[in-house]
Amino acid sequence: MKNFSLWCDFIENSFLDNEFLNLLSHGINGATSNPAIFKNAILNSPIYKDKILKLK
């Protein structure tokens, strides 16, 4: 399909490691997001909890 762009409206670690890599391997070559989405994904993910606490 020509002239098609993927817009990613959420960022989660498990998505980046799995489904997103699968999309990239099939030729999707970009995504976009905004800072508020990154903030929400990081602050609400248990993966980053310990790292955030160490920074405080």
Tokens 């606490």, residue?
Answer: 53
pLDDT score at 2: 60
Show the low-confidence residues of the chain (pLDDT under 70): 1-9, 29-33
| 34 vs 9: CA distance, rounded Å | 8
Give the total residue count for the chain: 56
The residue among 11, 1, 3 whose CA lies nearest residue 31 is 11
Tell me the whole-structure pTM to 2 decimals.
0.42
Helix (H, G, I), strand (E, B) or coil at 35: helix
Is residue 55 classed exposed, middle or buried when 0-12, 13-18 and 19+ CB atoms within 10 A define those classes? Answer: exposed
pLDDT score at 51: 87
